[in-house]
Amino acid sequence: MLLIYATASAWRAYRRASRRAAELSSYALTEAIEIERAAARLNEHGFALEHTASLLFPKLQRLAAILEQPLVAATIPWLIRRAFGRPFRRR
Q: What's the CA angle centered on 69, arms 61 and 80, to 5 degrees?
A: 90
User: What pLDDT is attached to residue 7?
Assistant: 87
Q: How far apart (Å, rounded) are the C-alpha atoms in residues 87 and 89? A: 6
Average pLDDT of every residue of the chain: 81
90 falls in which pLDDT band (50, 70, 90)?
A: low
Give phi and psi for 14, each to the nearest 5.
Answer: -65, -45
- pTM for the model stands at 0.43
The answer to whether 66 and 72 have CB atoms below 8 angstroms apart is yes
DSSP 68: T
Task: State residue 86 phi and psi, 5-degree precision.
Answer: -105, 120
The confidence score (pLDDT) of residue 88 equals 62
